[in-house]
């Protein structure tokens, strides 16, 4: 089997998304660290892998891919019989397609902005903007209301088993639960139970372990 | 004969057009059921049942109802592989992964700044909403950086994912069309050689011309 390489950073939420899928699938991979502090991701060598200058990039044999959610989809399809089934086999594909978009286009923007304000800015010695926090908390609250209704009818977002859809939320939820935004999750019983369930998966614990080195 | 699929939403909505363009490329019969968003049709309980976020479009066929325009497009390609443009989402896993990658890039990198510009420059004036110069400038700069990447890519490749027109290119049509035709900032696309060439090719496809006609009919008495 051709080797898998991941170009990225253990601190990048998008790269963590890919690590999570590789651990769920029990696949070996080699991490090629990209030094983002030194601007490595904007230099020629890296731009030839991802012209957008963003991490992660996956190499599998001759195949190169960027965009974390395209990478996880590729991994799920390329290795259907290994590790966790990350799609909903034997079930209609449609809910998976829909809820993948919901995470990417509805959940991700406000949660990324909140993580930027509440987690990264303090780390870089910058000041949190309370108006931005308020605006994005309000947006996220509306989205979590929809999730609460959905998760009262379905054990996981796309169907009754854990899929890529739930996995894609892990990096941002992991950070959010360490901020005051946790209250939005605590206030919604089904969302809260789902978040606790997915963040306690062994594959996710392995991703978190990478951060400890 | 199969029942036509249903698409809910106004023909002038960029996301609705994304789905209509895909259905036309795939030669899948559909019925467009317009919604009056000014009257709040999209926030009514019956609609919220099929689109809990209260946005357009929504889609229904005999098996299922769906929302999120890019999910609908992927579903149409997967569900009707033998119809119309068979290669729209790739005919093998590697082609599909490459198309998926550029479709993600469209959603994550092209869509936010181009949507913001379309709203500020084309829609806000019509709705008597004051334009925000700061937002316009910020998104012009973002979009310019993205289009620099496209310019390089499209100098190496005829279409974004390879030599054939794909869902990745199609997904750009609605916002790009508004930028070029409904604002004075169209040259952000047309002044770049390779992006301009690509825009000319994709906007000349029969499927997109039909979408534009459909939009024009909205304005006629």
Return all residues near A18 (Cβ < 8 A) that are at least 6 apart. Answer: A6, A8, A56, A58, A68, A71, A72, A75
Answer yes or no: do A98 and B71 touch at CB < 8 A. Answer: yes
Instruction: Specify which residues B2 forms β-bridges with.
Output: none
Q: Could you tell me the pLDDT band of residue A1, with boundaries at 50, 70 and 90? A: low
Measured in whole angstroms, how far is the alpha carbon of residue B48 from the centre of its chain? Answer: 22
The reported pLDDT for the residue numbered B219 is 58
Query: Which of A4, A101, A109, A150 should be substituted to probe chain B, the one whose Cβ sees the most B Cβ atoms within 10 Å?
Result: A101
pLDDT digit string (tens) for A153-175? 999 999 999 999 999 999 999 99
The pTM of the full predicted model, rounded to 2 decimals, is 0.88
Q: How far apart are CA A100 and CA B68, in angstroms?
A: 9
Nearest CA in chain A to B96: A74
Average confidence (pLDDT) over B200-217: 95
- Residue ranges covered by each domain of chain A: 4-86, 93-205
CB pairs under 8 A between A and B: 72
CB A49 within 8 A of CB A5: no
Note whether B187 contacts A: Cβ–Cβ < 8 A: no
The single-letter DSSP state of residue B191 is: T
Average confidence (pLDDT) over A100-114: 97
pLDDT > 50? residue B94: yes
Average confidence (pLDDT) over A90-114: 95
pLDDT > 80? residue B2: no
Measured in whole angstroms, how far is the alpha carbon of residue B7 from the centre of its chain? Answer: 14
Burial of A177 (0-12, 13-18, 19+ CB in 10 A): middle
pLDDT > 90? residue A2: no
Nearest alpha carbon to residue B14 among B191, B198, B200, B175? B175
Q: How far apart are CA A49 and CA A96, in angstroms?
A: 28
The reported pLDDT for the residue numbered B220 is 47
Q: How far apart are CA A127 and CA B6, in angstroms?
A: 48
Note whether B126 contacts A: Cβ–Cβ < 8 A: no
Note whether B93 contacts A: Cβ–Cβ < 8 A: yes
Q: Could you tell me the pLDDT band of residue B127, with boundaries at 50, 70 and 90? A: confident
The ipTM (two decimal places) reads: 0.80
Q: Could you tell me the pLDDT band of residue A90, with boundaries at 50, 70 and 90? A: confident
Average confidence (pLDDT) over A67-94: 93
CB A32 within 8 A of CB A26: no
- CATH architecture for the domain at A4-86: 3-Layer(aba) Sandwich (3.40)
Nearest CA in chain B to A100: B71
pLDDT digit string (tens) for A31-42? 999 998 899 999
Q: Which residues of A touch B68 (CB under 8 A)?
A: 97-98, 101-102, 105
Average confidence (pLDDT) over A82-106: 93
Mean model confidence pLDDT for chain B: 94
Answer yes or no: do B104 and A104 touch at CB < 8 A. Answer: yes
Q: Percentage of chain A with pLDDT > 90? A: 92
Nearest CA in chain B to A50: B149
In this structure, what token pair is assigned to residue B121?
């420059």
Nearest CA in chain B to A144: B53
The matching CATH number, chosen from 3.40.50.300, 2.60.40.10, 3.40.50.2300, 1.20.1050.10, for A93-205 is: 1.20.1050.10
pLDDT > 50? residue B221: no
CB A157 within 8 A of CB A150: yes
Mean model confidence pLDDT for chain A: 95
Least confident segment among B78-82, B124-128, B130-134, B174-178: B124-128
């Amino acid at each position: 089997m051709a080797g898998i390489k991941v170009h990225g950073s253990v601190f990048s939420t998008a790269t963590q998304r890919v690590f999570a899928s590789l651990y769920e699938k029990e696949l070996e991979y080699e991490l090629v660290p990209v030094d983002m502090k030194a601007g490595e991701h904007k230099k020629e060598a890296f731009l030839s892998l991802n012209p957008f200058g963003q991490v992660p990039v996956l190499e599998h044999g001759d195949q190169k891919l960027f965009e974390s959610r395209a990478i996880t989809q590729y991994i799920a399809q390329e290795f259907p019989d290994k590790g966790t089934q990350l799609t909903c086999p034997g079930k209609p594909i449609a809910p998976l397609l829909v809820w993948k978009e919901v995470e990417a286009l509805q959940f991700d923007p406000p949660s990324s902005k909140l993580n930027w304000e509440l987690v990264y800015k303090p780390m870089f010695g910058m000041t949190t903007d309370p108006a931005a926090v308020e605006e994005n908390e309000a947006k996220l609250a509306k989205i979590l209301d929809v999730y609460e209704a959905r998760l009262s009818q379905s054990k996981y977002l796309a169907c009754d088993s854990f899929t890529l859809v739930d996995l894609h939320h892990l990096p941002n939820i992991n950070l959010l639960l360490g901020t005051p935004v946790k209250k939005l999750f605590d206030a919604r019983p089904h969302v809260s139970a789902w978040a606790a369930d997915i963040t306690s998966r062994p594959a996710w614990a392995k991703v978190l372990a990478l951060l400890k080195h | 004969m199969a029942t036509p699929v249903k698409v809910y939403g106004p023909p002038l909505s960029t996301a609705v057009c994304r789905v209509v363009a895909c259905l036309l490329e795939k030669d899948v019969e559909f019925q467009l059921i317009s919604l009056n968003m000014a009257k709040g049709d999209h926030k009514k309980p019956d609609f919220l049942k099929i689109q809990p976020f209260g946005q357009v479009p929504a889609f229904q066929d005999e098996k299922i109802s769906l929302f999120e325009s890019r999910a609908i497009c992927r579903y149409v390609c997967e569900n009707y592989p033998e119809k119309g443009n068979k290669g729209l989402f790739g005919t093998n896993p590697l082609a599909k992964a490459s198309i998926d990658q550029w479709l993600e890039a469209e959603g994550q990198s092209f869509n936010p700044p181009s949507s913001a510009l379309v709203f500020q420059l084309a829609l806000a004036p019509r709705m008597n909403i004051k334009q925000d110069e700061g937002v316009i400038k910020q998104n012009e700069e973002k979009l310019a950086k993205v289009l620099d990447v496209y310019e390089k890519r499209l100098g190496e490749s005829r279409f974004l994912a390879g030599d054939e027109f794909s869902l990745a290119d199609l997904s750009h049509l609605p916002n790009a069309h508004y930028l070029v035709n409904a604002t004075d900032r169209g040259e952000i696309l047309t002044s770049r050689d390779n992006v301009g060439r690509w825009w000319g090719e994709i906007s000349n496809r029969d499927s997109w011309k039909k979408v534009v006609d459909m939009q024009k009919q909205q304005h006629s008495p």
